[in-house]
Structure 1
């Protein structure tokens, strides 16, 4: 295989604090099926404060992985959590560039990749990609898992200036800029109107098929008895993913006799601050219906999704240009979904495009109550919508890797090669 690609990714196993490792890891696993041999340039494991060594087993055994020197300014260069602002520009891991640029040059000279790919939200990754692109002339594909410069982020003026410079250099010098949502891509096209709009493309996140086999085995269906079970798996926040209005809606439906503990059970799995969310549940008087639950290993969480009657999704206005990665896992679980969203946001758009109409504004308890009551009726009757098979297939990480492989073909060989890749 002569088409090699150098992937620059800070988030890579055994790092465990970001779901971003799944995007980088899945591309490294699935790109060979599209004729591309990946090599990964990442950071030494000692820089990760949160690690999951079991994830190392997911790395393909023949994959070249180079782990360059890196320090975390907060933990390695600071004192009691305080550190110099200058040591963390553009981010706390800027020292990674000191080891990664020479390591990347060494890999390029030895392995002769055809292009470079780097992924944000660690800005230093794009800084390394920029340096290697300038030094070698290799084409560069820049991946934005989140928009880089946002209205309220970064808040630090020096960091914001540095982000703005890196973003400008990246967008103007890369061959393609890849985003995970249509809304994020549209915002960049609007901000850079002088650039060819075809430079900006979308490759969404997805689910990993391998993880679902064991999960479904552990959730074999049996005779249904007891209440309907709704599950939300993941973090909840005061802003953007606040469950208060949802719990208020449960209280309203309970007061009207629409639901009770014998009809409905709601599980809020791994919400982050379990104490605070549990206190909200008590405040709204629905502790007999809703409960928090501690985090469990990933496959157990998938098994719980697969066994549930329906799945809950929280994604409010502050995250309108983002789509939670669990959406694609929800599609694969082929369970009905109730969305607590902003109707103008990307998450609502993706749900609607998939045929899911059971949605309510996340902060409107009245709308939630009325729409949830209808959703529960459809659940009980077995008539609630689930993801169609073609949507499930398109949402897989293997499919996303095929999209990236076709994009690499276009960058290196021209648009005709990409069209041939799509046809194949």
Structure 2
């Protein structure tokens, strides 16, 4: 039986970013499946990046924008002086108005199911409100695990997640599900499900080429951070190689310690930083490089970056710089084109780069990594409900 579904996604196209593609693909696939989807999202003023290539449209899909004043800068200032403000997210004010909106919509549309998207806690807050008030089944989709699982400063935030005992919880890996149980969330293991993430169909069909100059070129896309995705060891390892390697970072700017490092290395011109680009343009560059880089340090041991599935679908050699036993390491153990290097260990990274240069790509089924495949699995989850 086709369903009337309410989806709470404060960040939805044209908002850009690694996680937006997951929830938009689920919405589009459900609409194509014949379900009626109403998406509650925020106004564009909240979004820091845009990616119109992620835009979805279907006769069964209706997007409702709830307008509110962005409080990102206000929260940034207040968190410096009032500790309790760090437990609020950028959509906290929006969520208050979104609850009013969904309350009025429920009275006329009678939703059968509500789905909310993390990492915005406010999305789950709105879904909890409508689920409890009208006794509607609820799926809380955790594209990333709750922050208190990997950030000790967020331990008190547990109380904000205990209301999810009312929801069926969907995670991207079995490891994430086990971590959520062990963290003391009041949720039965029987209500925890796993639907792996995915990438755009373009990533699995785009033609791969090699750098035009015949050199060896590495590409890293997305954000990096000193305390969890530090790129400095990678740059030092590249600089120590006897043969030249070009490195492109797409989507972020170097932090101060990286700028200082670039002044000390032998060939800083081989390290290039490119600002944010839409996903289709990034894919073209990624498909034309020699190999791809994934960096996941201790802080992100429970997380799997969405770009990993994009990289796998591109059928390129991948150097994974992470910790043994991390969620990303575990999920790639059987991937023939992934080479592992220990995060924070320059010699291990250097050896990984050497192995990367000599790696012969193994042919795979590229389509199994797509969001379309992921969305089909999500639809199967609804059938269980």
TM-score normalised per structure 2: 0.88
| SS of alignment partner, residue 353 of structure 1 | coil
Partner of 1:101: 99
Matched, 1:29 2:28: yes
What is the Cα deviation at residue 83 of structure 1? Answer: 8.6
| SS of alignment partner, residue 291 of structure 1 | strand
Which string of whole-angstrom CA distances, capped at 9 and with x for unpartnered residues, describes residues 374-419 of structure 1?
Answer: 22123xxxx2345x10xx32321111111111111111xxxxxxxx
| SS of alignment partner, residue 5 of structure 2 | strand
The Cα RMSD (Å) is: 3.0
Matched, 1:335 2:316: yes
| SS of alignment partner, residue 150 of structure 1 | helix
Which string of whole-angstrom CA distances, capped at 9 and with x for unpartnered residues, describes residues 146-168 of structure 1?
Answer: 22251564847xxx64x323311
Query: Which of the residues 174, 178, 189 maps onto 2:181?
Result: 189
Matched, 1:167 2:161: yes
Quick one: structure 1 residues 151 and 395, their matched pair in 2 at CA, closer, same or farther if it must change by over 3 Å? closer
What is the Cα deviation at residue 337 of structure 1? Answer: 0.8
8 A contact 1:5–1:116 mirrored in 2: yes
Partner of 1:198: 190
Which string of whole-angstrom CA distances, capped at 9 and with x for unpartnered residues, describes residues 233-267 of structure 1?
Answer: 2222212211222222223322xxxx13xxx3222
| SS of alignment partner, residue 117 of structure 1 | strand
Distance 1:210 1:330 in 2: 12
What is the Cα deviation at residue 285 of structure 1? Answer: 2.2
8 A contact 1:74–1:82 mirrored in 2: no
| SS of alignment partner, residue 358 of structure 1 | strand
Asked which structure has the greater CA Rg, the reply is: 1
Partner of 1:252: 240
Distance 2:351 2:162 in 1: 46
Quick one: structure 1 residues 334 and 407, their matched pair in 2 at CA, closer, same or farther if it must change by over 3 Å? same
Long gaps (5+) in structure 2: none
Within-5 A mapping of 1:100-249: 100-150=98-148, 153=151, 155=153, 161=156, 163-170=157-164, 172-174=165-167, 176-192=168-184, 195-210=187-202, 216=206, 221=209, 225-249=213-237
Deviates more, 1:355-364 or 1:122-131: 355-364
Query: Which of the residues 291, 298, 320 maps onto 2:272?
Result: 291
| SS of alignment partner, residue 21 of structure 2 | helix
Distance 2:295 2:147 in 1: 24
Quick one: structure 1 residues 374 and 120, their matched pair in 2 at CA, closer, same or farther if it must change by over 3 Å? closer
8 A contact 2:3–2:35 mirrored in 1: yes
Query: Which of the residues 395, 404, 407 maps onto 2:369?
Result: 395
Long gaps (5+) in structure 1: 412-424
Distance 2:15 2:72 in 1: 17
Task: Give the number of aligned pairs.
Answer: 385
8 A contact 2:203–2:314 mirrored in 1: no
Quick one: structure 1 residues 210 and 293, their matched pair in 2 at CA, closer, same or farther if it must change by over 3 Å? closer
Distance 2:201 2:158 in 1: 37
Deviates more, 1:130-139 or 1:88-97: 88-97
Distance 1:79 1:344 in 2: 37
8 A contact 1:7–1:41 mirrored in 2: yes
